[in-house]
Amino acid sequence: MLEAFPLWVLVTDYVLGVVMWTLIGRTGMSLFLPEDSSFFFMRFFVKATNPMLRLFNPITPGFLVRALVPLYVAWFFFLFRFYVMPWLLGYEVMGMLSFPLEGDIAKFIYQFGSR
């Protein structure tokens, strides 16, 4: 993957991808647990994503169901990774599922499953 993209692209995509998937994870967890749950995964998701939710609070519509706000914010990270990153790199289209983070995870799963 390092041959295909510069290091800064991979680091940027990995950071944005982890933030995006953490926000999605919080959305999933909040469907089953309250935000103030003592379950350690939920405490991690709330603590890790609250700064992002506060940052995006000015552009978050008030009519959204509170449990779906992290998914709304994750959508912005997806849009940045799918549209802005290829534009900055000079690509017209990178294609679906061509994110470096998800590509590396898919390769790991494939290699692990083919043993």
- Model confidence at 97: pLDDT above 50: no
DSSP classification of residue 64: S
Distance CA 104, CA 16 (A): 15
**Cα angle 75, 112, 105; round to 5:** 20
Q: pLDDT tens digit string along 21-71?
A: 999 999 999 999 999 999 999 999 999 999 999 999 999 999 999 999 999
> What residues contact residue 69 under an 8 Å CB cut-off, 6+ apart?
53, 60
